[in-house]
Structure 1
Amino acid sequence: MVRKCKKCGKEFTPNSPSRYLCDECLEKKNITNIFREKTCQICGRKIDGYIATKYCPECSREKRNERQKTYRQKGFTRHIGDVDRCARCGAEYIVQSGAQKYCKLCAKLAAKENDHRQAVEYYHNRGGKEKSIENAKKIKENATVCPVCGKLFTALKKNPVYCSRECAEVAKNSEIKYFKGAGKPRMTPAATSKTGTSGVSWSKTNRKYVARITIDGVRRWLGSFDKLEDAVKARKEAEEKYLRGEQS
Structure 2
Amino acid sequence: MYRTKRACQGCGKPFYGGTDCHYCPECAKAKKADTVVKIRICQDCGTKFLGGPRARRCPECAHIAQQETNRKHRREGTKRPLGSTDRCVICGQEYTVVSGRQKYCSDDCQGKGVIKWQREHKKGYHKVSGQNIKKKERREAQEKVCVYCLRKFKSNNPTNLCSDYCRKEHKKLQQCIADIKRGYNRDLKKYENKREEYRLKFES
Pairwise TM-score range, normalised by the shorter structure:
0.3 to 0.5
Q: Report the structure, 1 or 2, having the larger helix content.
A: 2
Q: Which has the higher contact order (CA 8 A, sep 6+)?
A: 2
Larger radius of gyration: 1
